[in-house]
Protein backbone atom coordinates (compact mmCIF):
# COMPACT_ATOMS: atom_id res chain seq x y z
CA UNK A 1 0.00 0.00 0.00
CA UNK A 2 2.98 2.31 0.48
CA UNK A 3 3.36 4.94 -2.23
CA UNK A 4 6.10 7.53 -2.85
CA UNK A 5 6.08 10.72 -0.80
CA UNK A 6 4.95 13.74 -2.75
CA UNK A 7 4.40 16.66 -0.37
CA UNK A 8 6.12 20.05 -0.80
CA UNK A 9 8.58 18.75 -3.38
CA UNK A 10 10.79 20.80 -5.66
CA UNK A 11 9.02 22.69 -8.41
CA UNK A 12 11.08 20.76 -10.96
CA UNK A 13 10.26 17.36 -9.50
CA UNK A 14 6.49 17.70 -9.21
CA UNK A 15 4.13 15.97 -11.58
CA UNK A 16 0.37 16.44 -11.92
CA UNK A 17 -1.69 14.20 -9.67
CA UNK A 18 -5.35 13.90 -8.81
CA UNK A 19 -6.35 16.55 -6.25
CA UNK A 20 -6.86 15.09 -2.82
CA UNK A 21 -5.38 17.38 -0.19
CA UNK A 22 -6.51 20.35 1.82
CA UNK A 23 -8.68 21.40 4.73
CA UNK A 24 -12.34 20.49 5.08
CA UNK A 25 -14.95 23.00 3.84
CA UNK A 26 -16.36 24.05 7.21
CA UNK A 27 -18.84 26.83 7.09
CA UNK A 28 -20.80 25.21 4.25
CA UNK A 29 -24.49 25.56 4.89
CA UNK A 30 -27.41 23.88 3.23
CA UNK A 31 -31.20 23.72 3.40
CA UNK A 32 -32.79 22.50 6.61
CA UNK A 33 -34.61 19.17 6.81
CA UNK A 34 -38.01 19.50 5.16
CA UNK A 35 -37.02 22.56 3.12
CA UNK A 36 -37.06 22.75 -0.65
CA UNK A 37 -34.58 24.00 -3.19
CA UNK A 38 -36.06 26.21 -5.89
CA UNK A 39 -33.49 25.52 -8.60
CA UNK A 40 -33.34 22.41 -10.79
CA UNK A 41 -30.68 20.23 -12.38
CA UNK A 42 -27.02 20.58 -11.50
CA UNK A 43 -27.51 23.58 -9.19
CA UNK A 44 -30.20 21.65 -7.30
CA UNK A 45 -27.75 18.75 -6.81
CA UNK A 46 -24.87 21.03 -5.79
CA UNK A 47 -26.95 22.69 -3.06
CA UNK A 48 -28.08 19.38 -1.63
CA UNK A 49 -24.51 18.07 -1.69
CA UNK A 50 -23.34 21.20 0.15
CA UNK A 51 -25.96 20.39 2.80
CA UNK A 52 -24.56 16.86 3.06
CA UNK A 53 -21.01 18.25 3.39
CA UNK A 54 -22.12 20.49 6.25
CA UNK A 55 -23.56 17.44 8.03
CA UNK A 56 -20.29 15.58 7.49
CA UNK A 57 -18.20 18.37 8.99
CA UNK A 58 -20.13 18.17 12.26
CA UNK A 59 -19.06 14.52 12.57
CA UNK A 60 -15.40 15.13 11.76
CA UNK A 61 -14.05 14.67 15.30
CA UNK A 62 -15.89 11.46 16.12
CA UNK A 63 -15.46 9.02 13.22
CA UNK A 64 -11.75 8.15 12.79
CA UNK A 65 -10.42 5.86 11.49
CA UNK A 66 -13.59 5.93 9.40
CA UNK A 67 -14.36 8.87 7.11
CA UNK A 68 -16.72 11.64 8.17
CA UNK A 69 -19.61 11.46 5.69
CA UNK A 70 -22.90 13.31 5.34
CA UNK A 71 -26.03 12.05 3.57
CA UNK A 72 -29.57 13.19 2.96
CA UNK A 73 -32.71 11.81 1.37
CA UNK A 74 -34.66 14.13 -0.92
CA UNK A 75 -38.20 13.42 -2.16
CA UNK A 76 -40.10 15.83 -4.43
CA UNK A 77 -37.52 18.51 -3.75
CA UNK A 78 -37.80 18.29 0.04
CA UNK A 79 -35.25 16.87 2.49
CA UNK A 80 -37.03 14.01 4.27
CA UNK A 81 -34.05 12.46 6.05
CA UNK A 82 -30.46 13.37 6.86
CA UNK A 83 -27.53 12.01 8.83
CA UNK A 84 -23.81 11.82 9.39
CA UNK A 85 -21.41 9.03 10.27
CA UNK A 86 -21.61 7.84 13.86
CA UNK A 87 -18.54 6.82 15.93
CA UNK A 88 -16.83 3.53 14.91
CA UNK A 89 -19.22 0.63 15.25
CA UNK A 90 -22.20 2.92 14.74
CA UNK A 91 -24.27 3.60 11.67
CA UNK A 92 -22.91 5.10 8.50
CA UNK A 93 -24.37 8.36 7.22
CA UNK A 94 -26.61 6.74 4.61
CA UNK A 95 -28.19 4.43 7.19
CA UNK A 96 -28.89 7.32 9.55
CA UNK A 97 -30.52 9.29 6.74
CA UNK A 98 -32.60 6.33 5.55
CA UNK A 99 -33.79 5.69 9.09
CA UNK A 100 -34.90 9.31 9.43
CA UNK A 101 -36.71 9.18 6.08
CA UNK A 102 -38.56 5.91 6.69
CA UNK A 103 -41.01 5.00 3.94
CA UNK A 104 -40.42 8.37 2.27
CA UNK A 105 -37.10 7.00 0.99
CA UNK A 106 -38.85 4.83 -1.63
CA UNK A 107 -38.42 6.48 -5.00
CA UNK A 108 -36.33 9.28 -3.48
CA UNK A 109 -32.83 10.59 -4.26
CA UNK A 110 -29.98 10.10 -1.79
CA UNK A 111 -27.02 12.49 -1.68
CA UNK A 112 -23.81 11.27 -0.03
CA UNK A 113 -20.36 12.83 0.16
CA UNK A 114 -18.57 9.47 -0.26
CA UNK A 115 -19.37 6.30 -2.17
CA UNK A 116 -21.60 3.93 -0.15
CA UNK A 117 -19.69 0.94 1.19
CA UNK A 118 -20.22 -2.46 -0.39
CA UNK A 119 -18.61 -4.78 2.18
CA UNK A 120 -19.42 -6.23 5.58
CA UNK A 121 -17.35 -4.55 8.28
CA UNK A 122 -18.69 -3.64 11.69
CA UNK A 123 -21.93 -2.80 9.87
CA UNK A 124 -23.66 -4.27 6.79
CA UNK A 125 -23.11 -2.70 3.35
CA UNK A 126 -24.76 0.68 2.84
CA UNK A 127 -25.24 -0.12 -0.86
CA UNK A 128 -27.49 -3.04 0.07
CA UNK A 129 -29.52 -0.86 2.43
CA UNK A 130 -30.08 1.71 -0.31
CA UNK A 131 -31.29 -1.02 -2.66
CA UNK A 132 -33.62 -2.44 0.00
CA UNK A 133 -35.03 1.02 0.72
CA UNK A 134 -36.12 1.36 -2.90
CA UNK A 135 -34.38 4.65 -3.65
CA UNK A 136 -34.48 5.71 -7.29
CA UNK A 137 -31.26 7.69 -7.53
CA UNK A 138 -28.01 8.13 -5.60
CA UNK A 139 -25.74 11.17 -6.06
CA UNK A 140 -22.16 10.58 -4.89
CA UNK A 141 -19.52 13.28 -4.51
CA UNK A 142 -16.45 11.01 -4.81
CA UNK A 143 -15.64 7.33 -4.99
CA UNK A 144 -14.03 5.67 -1.97
CA UNK A 145 -10.41 4.60 -2.66
CA UNK A 146 -10.50 2.02 0.12
CA UNK A 147 -9.58 -1.36 -1.37
CA UNK A 148 -12.80 -2.87 0.01
CA UNK A 149 -14.96 -0.36 -1.89
CA UNK A 150 -13.14 1.28 -4.86
CA UNK A 151 -16.18 1.59 -7.13
CA UNK A 152 -17.95 -1.57 -5.98
CA UNK A 153 -20.60 0.40 -4.11
CA UNK A 154 -21.50 2.37 -7.22
CA UNK A 155 -21.48 -0.81 -9.33
CA UNK A 156 -23.80 -2.60 -6.92
CA UNK A 157 -26.31 0.25 -7.00
CA UNK A 158 -26.28 0.42 -10.78
CA UNK A 159 -26.68 -3.34 -11.11
CA UNK A 160 -29.86 -3.02 -9.02
CA UNK A 161 -31.26 -0.48 -11.48
CA UNK A 162 -30.59 2.61 -9.39
CA UNK A 163 -29.43 5.71 -11.25
CA UNK A 164 -26.05 6.87 -9.90
CA UNK A 165 -24.33 10.18 -10.56
CA UNK A 166 -20.72 10.61 -9.37
CA UNK A 167 -18.83 13.91 -9.14
CA UNK A 168 -21.32 16.42 -7.77
CA UNK A 169 -19.42 18.53 -5.23
CA UNK A 170 -16.31 16.43 -5.83
CA UNK A 171 -13.70 19.15 -5.26
CA UNK A 172 -15.20 20.18 -1.92
CA UNK A 173 -15.44 16.54 -0.84
CA UNK A 174 -11.77 15.94 -1.70
CA UNK A 175 -10.79 18.94 0.41
CA UNK A 176 -12.94 17.84 3.30
CA UNK A 177 -11.85 14.20 3.25
CA UNK A 178 -8.19 14.80 2.31
CA UNK A 179 -6.75 13.02 5.40
CA UNK A 180 -8.92 9.95 4.84
CA UNK A 181 -8.21 9.79 1.11
CA UNK A 182 -4.46 10.20 1.67
CA UNK A 183 -4.45 7.49 4.34
CA UNK A 184 -6.31 5.00 2.17
CA UNK A 185 -4.08 5.67 -0.86
CA UNK A 186 -0.70 5.65 0.87
CA UNK A 187 -1.11 3.89 4.22
CA UNK A 188 0.47 6.93 5.90
CA UNK A 189 -1.07 9.54 8.14
CA UNK A 190 -1.81 12.86 6.42
CA UNK A 191 0.93 15.22 7.61
CA UNK A 192 -0.32 18.62 8.74
CA UNK A 193 2.55 20.90 9.79
CA UNK A 194 1.46 23.76 12.05
CA UNK A 195 3.74 26.64 12.91
CA UNK A 196 3.40 30.09 14.47
CA UNK A 197 5.59 32.84 13.03
CA UNK A 198 6.18 36.53 13.53
CA UNK A 199 5.49 38.85 10.62
CA UNK A 200 9.19 38.58 9.72
CA UNK A 201 9.07 34.78 9.67
CA UNK A 202 10.59 33.95 13.07
CA UNK A 203 9.36 31.29 15.49
CA UNK A 204 11.21 32.34 18.64
CA UNK A 205 13.13 35.37 19.90
CA UNK A 206 16.92 35.43 20.06
CA UNK A 207 16.85 34.05 23.62
CA UNK A 208 14.59 31.16 22.56
CA UNK A 209 11.38 32.53 24.12
CA UNK A 210 8.23 32.08 22.04
CA UNK A 211 5.25 32.39 24.38
CA UNK A 212 3.41 33.97 22.89
CA UNK A 213 3.90 34.98 19.26
CA UNK A 214 0.17 34.79 18.59
CA UNK A 215 -2.82 35.96 20.59
CA UNK A 216 -5.52 34.04 22.42
CA UNK A 217 -7.82 33.66 19.38
CA UNK A 218 -5.11 32.04 17.26
CA UNK A 219 -4.08 29.71 20.07
CA UNK A 220 -7.70 28.64 20.58
CA UNK A 221 -8.01 27.99 16.86
CA UNK A 222 -4.90 25.79 16.99
CA UNK A 223 -6.62 23.67 19.64
CA UNK A 224 -9.38 23.14 17.10
CA UNK A 225 -6.74 21.78 14.72
CA UNK A 226 -5.58 19.40 17.43
CA UNK A 227 -9.17 18.26 17.93
CA UNK A 228 -9.45 17.58 14.19
CA UNK A 229 -6.34 15.36 14.33
CA UNK A 230 -5.84 11.87 15.69
CA UNK A 231 -2.21 12.52 16.65
CA UNK A 232 -0.12 15.51 17.71
CA UNK A 233 3.60 15.12 17.01
CA UNK A 234 6.75 16.80 18.38
CA UNK A 235 10.46 16.13 18.12
CA UNK A 236 12.76 15.55 21.05
CA UNK A 237 14.17 19.09 20.95
CA UNK A 238 10.75 20.67 21.38
CA UNK A 239 9.82 18.15 24.06
CA UNK A 240 12.92 19.05 26.07
CA UNK A 241 12.70 22.81 25.56
CA UNK A 242 8.95 23.37 25.96
CA UNK A 243 7.70 20.34 27.94
CA UNK A 244 4.38 20.44 26.04
CA UNK A 245 1.26 18.58 27.16
CA UNK A 246 -0.11 18.24 23.58
CA UNK A 247 -3.67 17.90 24.87
CA UNK A 248 -6.83 19.46 23.42
CA UNK A 249 -8.26 22.26 25.53
CA UNK A 250 -11.60 24.08 25.14
CA UNK A 251 -12.37 22.72 21.65
CA UNK A 252 -16.09 22.58 20.80
CA UNK A 253 -17.09 19.97 19.98
CA UNK A 254 -14.49 17.94 21.81
CA UNK A 255 -13.04 14.97 19.91
CA UNK A 256 -14.49 11.53 20.58
CA UNK A 257 -11.07 10.47 21.89
CA UNK A 258 -8.06 12.62 22.80
CA UNK A 259 -5.45 12.64 20.05
CA UNK A 260 -2.43 10.42 20.45
CA UNK A 261 0.60 12.34 21.72
CA UNK A 262 3.61 11.34 19.65
CA UNK A 263 7.26 11.92 20.52
CA UNK A 264 9.93 11.37 17.86
CA UNK A 265 13.14 10.60 19.75
CA UNK A 266 15.83 8.66 17.89
CA UNK A 267 18.38 8.52 20.69
CA UNK A 268 16.38 8.40 23.92
CA UNK A 269 17.02 12.02 24.89
CA UNK A 270 13.65 12.71 26.54
CA UNK A 271 13.16 11.30 30.04
CA UNK A 272 9.93 9.48 30.89
CA UNK A 273 8.51 12.25 33.05
CA UNK A 274 6.66 15.51 32.67
CA UNK A 275 3.45 16.43 30.82
CA UNK A 276 3.90 13.98 27.93
CA UNK A 277 3.80 11.09 30.39
CA UNK A 278 1.10 12.35 32.77
CA UNK A 279 -1.62 9.93 31.60
CA UNK A 280 -3.94 12.73 30.48
CA UNK A 281 -3.89 11.26 26.95
CA UNK A 282 -2.20 8.26 25.33
CA UNK A 283 1.46 8.69 24.37
CA UNK A 284 3.45 6.94 21.64
CA UNK A 285 7.22 7.23 21.35
CA UNK A 286 8.70 6.49 17.93
CA UNK A 287 12.39 5.78 18.21
CA UNK A 288 15.24 3.84 16.56
CA UNK A 289 17.71 1.14 17.51
CA UNK A 290 19.98 3.98 18.62
CA UNK A 291 17.92 4.57 21.76
CA UNK A 292 19.31 2.95 24.95
CA UNK A 293 17.23 0.10 26.32
CA UNK A 294 16.98 1.97 29.62
CA UNK A 295 15.18 4.84 27.87
CA UNK A 296 12.79 2.46 26.14
CA UNK A 297 12.05 0.62 29.38
CA UNK A 298 11.44 3.96 31.12
CA UNK A 299 8.96 5.12 28.49
CA UNK A 300 7.04 1.88 28.71
CA UNK A 301 7.06 1.93 32.51
CA UNK A 302 5.53 5.41 32.32
CA UNK A 303 2.62 4.01 30.26
CA UNK A 304 3.75 5.00 26.77
CA UNK A 305 3.73 2.72 23.76
CA UNK A 306 7.04 2.49 21.94
CA UNK A 307 7.58 1.75 18.24
CA UNK A 308 10.97 1.39 16.53
CA UNK A 309 11.61 2.50 12.96
CA UNK A 310 14.81 2.69 10.89
CA UNK A 311 17.20 5.57 11.40
CA UNK A 312 18.18 7.96 8.62
CA UNK A 313 21.35 9.94 9.34
CA UNK A 314 20.87 9.16 13.01
CA UNK A 315 17.29 10.46 13.09
CA UNK A 316 13.85 8.87 12.93
CA UNK A 317 12.83 7.85 9.40
CA UNK A 318 9.93 10.26 8.98
CA UNK A 319 8.13 8.37 6.21
CA UNK A 320 8.29 5.23 8.33
CA UNK A 321 6.98 7.17 11.33
CA UNK A 322 3.97 8.40 9.34
CA UNK A 323 3.42 4.80 8.25
CA UNK A 324 3.41 3.69 11.89
CA UNK A 325 0.82 6.33 12.67
CA UNK A 326 -1.28 5.21 9.71
CA UNK A 327 -1.17 1.65 11.04
CA UNK A 328 -2.43 3.01 14.38
CA UNK A 329 -5.52 4.40 12.63
CA UNK A 330 -4.29 8.00 12.54
CA UNK A 331 -5.77 9.77 9.54
CA UNK A 332 -4.32 13.21 10.30
CA UNK A 333 -1.10 13.83 12.24
CA UNK A 334 -0.56 17.43 13.34
CA UNK A 335 3.15 18.16 13.65
CA UNK A 336 3.75 21.02 16.09
CA UNK A 337 7.50 21.29 16.14
CA UNK A 338 10.07 22.19 16.19
CA UNK A 339 11.58 24.06 13.30
CA UNK A 340 14.10 21.31 12.53
CA UNK A 341 11.40 18.64 12.36
CA UNK A 342 9.27 20.86 10.15
CA UNK A 343 12.24 21.47 7.88
CA UNK A 344 13.06 17.77 7.65
CA UNK A 345 9.48 16.96 6.67
CA UNK A 346 9.56 19.67 4.00
CA UNK A 347 12.88 18.45 2.63
CA UNK A 348 11.52 14.89 2.46
CA UNK A 349 8.39 15.96 0.56
CA UNK A 350 6.14 14.63 3.33
CA UNK A 351 4.13 17.74 4.18
CA UNK A 352 0.55 17.43 2.94
CA UNK A 353 -0.69 20.68 4.45
CA UNK A 354 1.10 23.64 6.00
CA UNK A 355 -0.84 25.81 8.44
CA UNK A 356 0.89 29.04 9.41
CA UNK A 357 -0.30 31.34 12.17
CA UNK A 358 1.24 34.76 11.59
CA UNK A 359 1.39 36.72 14.84
CA UNK A 360 1.40 40.50 14.94
CA UNK A 361 4.97 40.73 16.19
CA UNK A 362 8.45 41.45 14.81
CA UNK A 363 11.43 39.53 16.19
CA UNK A 364 14.40 40.54 14.05
CA UNK A 365 17.30 38.84 12.29
CA UNK A 366 18.78 37.32 15.47
CA UNK A 367 15.55 35.42 16.20
CA UNK A 368 15.03 31.74 15.34
CA UNK A 369 13.81 30.86 11.82
CA UNK A 370 10.39 29.32 11.50
CA UNK A 371 11.49 26.51 9.20
CA UNK A 372 14.96 25.08 9.67
CA UNK A 373 15.94 23.53 6.34
CA UNK A 374 18.49 24.27 3.61
CA UNK A 375 15.91 25.21 0.99
CA UNK A 376 16.43 25.42 -2.77
CA UNK A 377 19.59 26.76 -4.39
CA UNK A 378 17.61 28.71 -6.96
CA UNK A 379 14.14 30.20 -7.22
CA UNK A 380 13.32 27.77 -10.04
CA UNK A 381 13.51 24.93 -7.51
CA UNK A 382 11.40 26.63 -4.84
CA UNK A 383 8.42 24.52 -3.76
CA UNK A 384 5.21 26.15 -4.91
CA UNK A 385 2.19 26.25 -2.65
CA UNK A 386 -1.52 26.86 -3.10
CA UNK A 387 -3.42 28.92 -0.55
CA UNK A 388 -6.62 27.03 0.30
CA UNK A 389 -7.78 28.79 3.44
CA UNK A 390 -7.43 32.01 5.40
CA UNK A 391 -8.77 33.34 8.69
CA UNK A 392 -8.35 36.57 10.62
CA UNK A 393 -7.99 35.80 14.33
CA UNK A 394 -7.83 39.04 16.25
CA UNK A 395 -4.58 40.72 15.18
CA UNK A 396 -3.23 37.43 13.78
CA UNK A 397 -3.80 35.57 10.54
CA UNK A 398 -4.04 31.88 9.72
CA UNK A 399 -2.88 30.71 6.29
CA UNK A 400 -3.45 27.16 5.00
CA UNK A 401 -1.33 25.85 2.14
CA UNK A 402 -1.12 22.60 0.21
CA UNK A 403 1.39 21.58 -2.46
CA UNK A 404 0.39 23.40 -5.64
CA UNK A 405 0.26 20.16 -7.62
CA UNK A 406 -2.48 18.75 -5.36
CA UNK A 407 -4.69 21.84 -4.97
CA UNK A 408 -8.20 22.18 -6.35
CA UNK A 409 -9.76 25.34 -7.64
CA UNK A 410 -12.34 25.35 -4.85
CA UNK A 411 -11.74 28.12 -2.28
CA UNK A 412 -12.30 27.55 1.40
CA UNK A 413 -15.03 29.78 2.89
CA UNK A 414 -13.86 32.74 4.96
CA UNK A 415 -13.30 32.11 8.64
CA UNK A 416 -11.88 28.95 10.11
CA UNK A 417 -10.92 26.62 7.19
Residues taking part in catalysis: 94
Q: In the Cβ-directed half-sphere of 116, how many Cα atoms lie within 13 Å?
A: 34
Write out the H or E segment, with its range, that includes residue 353.
strand 353-359
DSSP code of 404?
A: G
CB atoms within 10 A of CB 141: 27
The answer to whether 130 touches 156, Cβ cutoff 8 Å, is no
- For the chain, how many helices (H) and strands (E)? 11, 18
The answer to whether 244 touches 226, Cβ cutoff 8 Å, is no
Report the alpha-carbon distance of residue 368 to residue 200 in Å, rounded: 11
Write out the H or E segment, with its range, that includes residue 287.
strand 283-287
Report the alpha-carbon distance of residue 199 to residue 361 in Å, rounded: 6
Instruction: Say how far residue 215 (Cα) sits from the centre of its chain.
Output: 24
Classify the C-alpha dihedral 27-31-34-40 as positive or negative: negative
Report the alpha-carbon distance of residue 369 to residue 343 in Å, rounded: 10
Amino acid sequence: MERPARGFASARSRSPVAPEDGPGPTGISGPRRGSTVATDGRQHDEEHMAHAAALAERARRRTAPNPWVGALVVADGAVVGEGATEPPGGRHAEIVALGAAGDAARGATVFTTLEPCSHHGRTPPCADALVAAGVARVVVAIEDPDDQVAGEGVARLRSAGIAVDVGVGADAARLQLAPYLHHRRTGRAFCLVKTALSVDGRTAAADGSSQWITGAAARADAHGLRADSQAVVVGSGTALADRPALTVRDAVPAPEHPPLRVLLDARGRVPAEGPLFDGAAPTLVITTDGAPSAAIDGWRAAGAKVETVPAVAGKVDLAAALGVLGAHGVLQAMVEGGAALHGALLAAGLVDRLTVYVGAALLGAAAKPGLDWPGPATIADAPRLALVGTAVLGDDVRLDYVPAATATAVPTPAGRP
